[in-house]
Structure formats: C-alpha cells, structure tokens
Structure 1
C-alpha cells in the first residue's frame, strides 16, 4: 500500500511537473520573441528617412536602444546588398554576412517585423528581430535587435531543478505518510486475524481433546464399530471445519497432494451412518487435492441426496470418473431458477440433491473453487437431480497413466 500510494503520487507529480516545464518553456520563448520584436518595432519608428538620408540620431537617446543587448541597422540602396550601421556592441556579435543577407530578404518579402534564431559570429545563440524602416514606398533599412537565448534557458533549467527536488521531496513525504496511514489502517485487520488464529487454535485444542477422550472411552467399553466410526467422523468434521476456517482467513493454504479419488469416495461413503441405499460406480482416478476437504465435499453431496432426494431409502448413485464426482438422486429435482441459489450460504432448496440449509452445498462449491474446479446441479436422465463436483482435466488423470499403486489408500 505504501508503494502504491507513493507510485500514484509520483506519477501525478511527474505529469504536473512535465506540464509546468512545457508551459514555462513556451512562455519564455513567447516572452523572448515579444521582447525583441517590440524593441525592434519601437526603434524602427524612432528613425526616419529624409530625402534618402537615414537619420539614426534618436538611437543614442532612446531607452529601447540603450536596453538592447545587440543592436544594428541594415541599410541598402535598391539592387544592392545591405550595409551595417550603428553596430552595438561589436560586429562579432552579429550573424555572418550570408545570414544577414537572408534576414534582409525576409524583411523585404514579409514587409513587417521578422523573427529568426541565428548564431553570432562568435557562436552565441541569439534570437533576432528585424523591423523595416520605410523610405517613402520602399524599405530602405531595417533595425536589427538580438537577445541571447541562453539567458532564458538558464532560468528554465533552474526551474526544472527546483521541480525535480521538490517532486522528490513530496514523493518521500507521501511515501512516509502513506506508510503511516496504511499501517494504521491495516493494524486492526492484523489484530483481528491474530485473534481469529488464536481462537482457531484454542477451538482445535478444546474440540480434539474431548473427542480423543471419547474415543478411548468407547474403545474400553467395547462398543460397536459404528460408535467408533461416528467418533472418527466427528473428528474429521472438526478437522475439516477448522481447516476451512484457516484457509478462508489466509492463516494456512490448502496442500494439494496426489490421491486416489475413487478410494476417497468409497471410504467416505462407507463411513456414512446410513449407506445401504448408496451405490458407488467408480474407476481408478488420481487427482491433486486436499483429502479432508474433498471428503467433506463428497459427504455433503451424498447426505443432501439422502436427505432430500425422495422418500427415505430412495437409491442414491455415486459415479467417479476422471475429474468428476457425480451424485444422483431420484427426487423431484431442483427448479432451474434455484440451481445457483442453493449454493449460497443459508439458502434453503425445495427438494432434490441440492436442497437443505444451503451450508452443505456452499461448502461443496468452496472446495471445488479451492481446487480450481466447479460444482453444479443438473437434471438427471429419467428424473431426479444430478450434483456434480468437477476438477480441471489437467489436475485429474486415470491411474493407468501413473503408478497409482504407490499412493496407497486415501488415509495414507
């Protein structure tokens, strides 16, 4: 968040600085042109021709002339090249003779003040303005005024340096303020996550300890295997719920390992308290997944089908294929409009494998998405509902293409 805050501030400041630099450069160029143009035009009006004689006396007294950095007068008779008069401060400050000739031609063609950039004979970069002086109906002379470009560029460079220093300082301040604000904003969330993790750890301890004690009591009492299976199932449920809570809060990540999906489904069905009406049709399939979470998803699918898939004892068929666990019931089915809604938490379905409180199918979809898969409800051929848990094909493969015999049972 600090980096994002600082980067955003830096981007905005860079844009503003670039706009400021561009505006300043254009403003200085415009100001320089206005300065030399106004000075040349004003001085051209101060001198005059009288019977073909150019009078330059006002230039010695005019404030515009005294303030000019470079000043000269070009005068030419008809058909002759221009000659220089009243050169200040020296001839070397003016452009070469060729450029002066081109400047004079531009004044004759435009018949108004002309502005050009041309170096002096010493190599200085100057901006020139040449204003015509009329001798009756022709241009007999031109007042030439020059100003160094480097003077404005130096001031422009100073502005650029100050902008760079100022923007850097502002970005550092923004980063510090962003770090402080993001830290204060994230602190309650971090405290909440730490408290939740502490609660999960305490809940795990408080739930697992009595379950372990209960299992010992059941074993000593020499009760039926059914009671032991129920205790083991309750222990797995607690472990699965805690794992889900930790995963959703980011306290831990799901560990996807190679496992036999068909064996996992068969073992899960065998542990159900009532599995007489459940048949499993499977083929050897190896997937990458979390055993506890996948077992919980399969258990929820089958129990929903048993509970809401028709009258008690109605058959439930479980099919395992590459990348697919499908559970079919023979109930009334789920209306098309409710097939997505029943996957939301707390939503009650009408009938079929997708009905119930909504928590069971919500967990199924969460497990599917955690494995980059999907869960959906469709109509079963011949009536009833078909609930599908799908895994992506690149994460599922048949055991014939791998040495699945080395994987052992699901519990391993």
Structure 2
C-alpha cells in the first residue's frame, strides 16, 4: 500500500524520467546483448570450423600415412605393416578396400569390427570418389551400428592404377560434445554479462538523472511557493481595494492580475511536467456562457451557439476563453463596443469591432510579451480602461493570446486570428470534437461538465 501511494504521488515529470531511466537501461542491456550474441555466434562458428578442420587433418594425415605403409607386389596387396604401425594402432576404425578393375571393392582388413564401417552403398561411393579425385577424400557417413563418423580414404597405387584404399574413421561425438560445452559456457557467460551490463546501465543512468530529478524537485518547490506567495498578496490587495472604496476598474485589474498569475503558474507547472491537464468530456457552450458571465463587464458580450461536447480541461479552456474575450474588449474599439462569442462544434469564435491586426502580425501576437497594441496600425480602446495614450491603465502584458495558443495546442487544437465579415477581428479557438458527441445532455455535474 505504501509503495502504491508513493507511486501515485509521483509527478508526471518524475514518472517520465523514471520511465526514461528504465528505457535507457533496457537499451543499454539490449545493445550489449546484441553485441555479445554476434561475438558468441562468431566464436561458435569459428570453433565449429576449427574442430572440423582439425578432425579432417587428423584422419586425413592418418589415412595418407597408412596408405604409404602398404604396397602392391605383383598384384598382391601386402598389409603386414598395419599390424605394427603406430598410426594403425591409434585409429578408432581402420579398413582397407581392394578392388579388381570393373568390380565393387571388397573389405580386406577391418579394425575393430565390420559393424564400424558404413554400409556397402556408401563404401562404393567412397571408392568412386577416390578413383575420381585420385587422392585423399573426406566424407561424413554413419557406421552400420549407428555411430556418426568422419572418414578419410587415401589411395594405394598398383603401378599406374588405384588398386586399394585405406579407410580411417573417427567419432564425431567427442568433438561435438566439446563444442556443445563451449556453446553452453558462452551462453551462460553472455547472460551474466548482459545482467551486469543492465545493472551498470541502471546505476549510471540513475546517477546521470540525479541532477535532473533534483532540479525538478527544486522547480516544483519554487512553483508551489510562488503560487502561494503571489496569491496571498493579491487576495490581500483585493480586500484593501474593496475596503478603501476604490473604483471598479481597480478591482477588475486585481482580478485580472490574479487570473493571469494563476494561468502562468499552471502553464509553468505543465511545461515543467509537474502537472498534467485533466481532459474530461464537457459542454463547451455551457463553459463559455459561465466564463463570460463571471467577467466584470460582460454586459457588452453576447454568447450564441449550440450544445457542443469536447474533451478538455475546464479551467484551462475557461482561461483561454476569458483571455480571448478580454482581449476583444480591450482592443476591440471604443468602450462598450459589442463583442460576439459563438460556439460551434469544435470551435469558439470571438468577434470584436476594432481596427484588427495586420496580416503580417497575426502570428506574432501569439508570442509572449506581444500585445495587439504593439502591432502596426492597431488602435486600442479609448476610455478609462483602454490603455490608450493618456490613460493610466495598462494595455496588457502580452501573455493572454500566448496562453490561448498554448491551451489550444495542449488540447491538440489551434488558435488563429482572421478578418471578421464587415470589419473587425475574429479570434478562433479550434478544438477536436468529442468522440461521442451524442453524450451531450442538459444534465451536468458542474459548469460545462457532462454528467456521468
């Protein structure tokens, strides 16, 4: 239970770093394993070829040496030296094939027993190979009792023809057994090395990520402290303004600053990976209506549309809609100029009746620190809250539309500015429609949230 609670309390950024650490460990171990497998395969192949070459050299040399120990004399094959030759005594299977021209070879001498030789068909094949090559030949053939042997047959010349052949065989089982032992040791060694590589990779990746984890922890602590330290004086400032009887404009500025700080902190936490957007099915039209009604000067804003369901984060979408409407009120013409908000499937549009934004600057205003008042040819709203020349109110911080674009991209949507029909500016917030639009209903648990 404690482990589960700890795992659930991890921030998304820390969880991603831990997944990255496991992935790096897996890649390190996989790369090591691939290299070891290639090296082991090469070693196994070389060992197999080396053992086969050594075996062939042994039986070939023995057969060639014994073929020189026997001879023909007036057509008679003399085999007496085989009884005393050390090469013959060390052979596992030894036989002499003799053939009269035009006839099948016959077995003259066998050590230790006839059952150790291949069957007659294979003996005939060996004999024909010796006649064709006129030298020592190497073949693999089972013995009559089922043993697997490697054979070497060397010719014995009778004047200008091959009259006999010395056949020497050796068991393959011992060589194959030694080869299998090597393969098993290589498999065990490679497995142990891969495990060691995985442990070392896990250790090294953990050490490499310690500064990142420490930095994430410090960043999360800073964001949490910043949220507390900023919200507390803002709340106190609002109380002071209310008690001091200040104008409604001052209260609006305090509320706007509070919302701006909340949005910026939420964006910072999400970009740092300390927080994730909570995407749930919600009624977009109801969320827009509720957001507009909460604005201090919403009398000049009209909302129209149809029931629309999207998957999104209610707080972030409300912040985006609020920024679009406040931007239209601030830069959309004289005080009290109408602002129309329309909700359609996957689309929220906010229209004002201001001078608009030049085409070349419509992407630039979505950058941080750029306001509509900074664009060429744009006019700001006149009046106490316009931020126009001669007014004490600021025209904006340049974070509003940047937050709108960020919220749109977070929901896999988009935000853009276009010319409104008949003049003015049209701001669009496009969102992917809900996969189950039929689930939209009038019942809901809270503002804009679809009921279960």
* Displacement after TM superposition at 1:132 (Å): 2.3
* Displacement after TM superposition at 1:187 (Å): 0.8
From 142, 147, 154, give the equivalent of 2:165.
Answer: 142
- Cα separation, partners in 2 of 1:341 and 1:153, compared to 1, 3 Å: farther
In structure 2, the partner of 1:409 is 447
* Displacement after TM superposition at 1:151 (Å): 1.6
From 277, 289, 295, give the equivalent of 2:312.
Answer: 289
Does structure 1 conserve the Cα–Cα contact (< 8 Å) formed by 2:308 and 2:440?
Answer: no
- Say whether residues 1:367 and 2:390 are aligned partners: no
**In 2, Cα distance between equivalents of 1:202 and 1:140:** 103
After the TM superposition, which of the residue ranges 238-247 and 277-286 deviates more from structure 2?
A: 277-286
**In 2, Cα distance between equivalents of 1:271 and 1:99:** 100
Structure 1 length-normalised TM: 0.83
- Cα separation, partners in 2 of 1:340 and 1:227, compared to 1, 3 Å: closer
* Displacement after TM superposition at 1:178 (Å): 0.9
**CA RMSD after TM alignment:** 3.5
**In 1, Cα distance between equivalents of 2:369 and 2:58:** 79
- Say whether residues 1:181 and 2:185 are aligned partners: no
Does structure 2 conserve the Cα–Cα contact (< 8 Å) formed by 1:36 and 1:146?
Answer: yes
Note the 1:199-214 alignment, pairs <5 A. 199-214=222-237
Does structure 2 conserve the Cα–Cα contact (< 8 Å) formed by 1:107 and 1:113?
Answer: yes
Does structure 1 conserve the Cα–Cα contact (< 8 Å) formed by 2:281 and 2:434?
Answer: no
**In 2, Cα distance between equivalents of 1:305 and 1:360:** 11
- Cα separation, partners in 2 of 1:350 and 1:143, compared to 1, 3 Å: farther
Q: What does the per-residue CA deviation read over 1:195-227, in whole Å, with 9 as the maximum and x for residues that have no partner?
A: 111111211221222233233334444556555
- Cα separation, partners in 2 of 1:12 and 1:339, compared to 1, 3 Å: farther
* Displacement after TM superposition at 1:127 (Å): 0.8
- Cα separation, partners in 2 of 1:281 and 1:115, compared to 1, 3 Å: same
* Displacement after TM superposition at 1:305 (Å): 4.7
Note the 1:195-234 alignment, pairs <5 A. 195-221=218-244, 227-234=250-257
**In 2, Cα distance between equivalents of 1:236 and 1:36:** 92
Secondary structure of 1:320 counterpart: strand
**In 1, Cα distance between equivalents of 2:251 and 2:85:** 115
* Displacement after TM superposition at 1:174 (Å): 0.8
In structure 2, the partner of 1:376 is 416
- Say whether residues 1:387 and 2:427 are aligned partners: yes
Number of residue-to-residue matches in the alignment? 408
Does structure 1 conserve the Cα–Cα contact (< 8 Å) formed by 2:356 and 2:419?
Answer: no
- Cα separation, partners in 2 of 1:101 and 1:284, compared to 1, 3 Å: closer
Note the 1:69-148 alignment, pairs <5 A. 69-148=92-171
* Displacement after TM superposition at 1:410 (Å): 5.2
**In 2, Cα distance between equivalents of 1:358 and 1:130:** 94
In structure 2, the partner of 1:323 is 346
* Displacement after TM superposition at 1:168 (Å): 1.6
Does structure 1 conserve the Cα–Cα contact (< 8 Å) formed by 2:292 and 2:301?
Answer: yes
Note the 1:339-354 alignment, pairs <5 A. 343-345=366-368, 350-351=375-376
- Cα separation, partners in 2 of 1:15 and 1:395, compared to 1, 3 Å: same
**In 1, Cα distance between equivalents of 2:281 and 2:160:** 101
From 28, 36, 56, give the equivalent of 2:51.
Answer: 28
Structure 2 length-normalised TM: 0.77
- Cα separation, partners in 2 of 1:259 and 1:77, compared to 1, 3 Å: closer
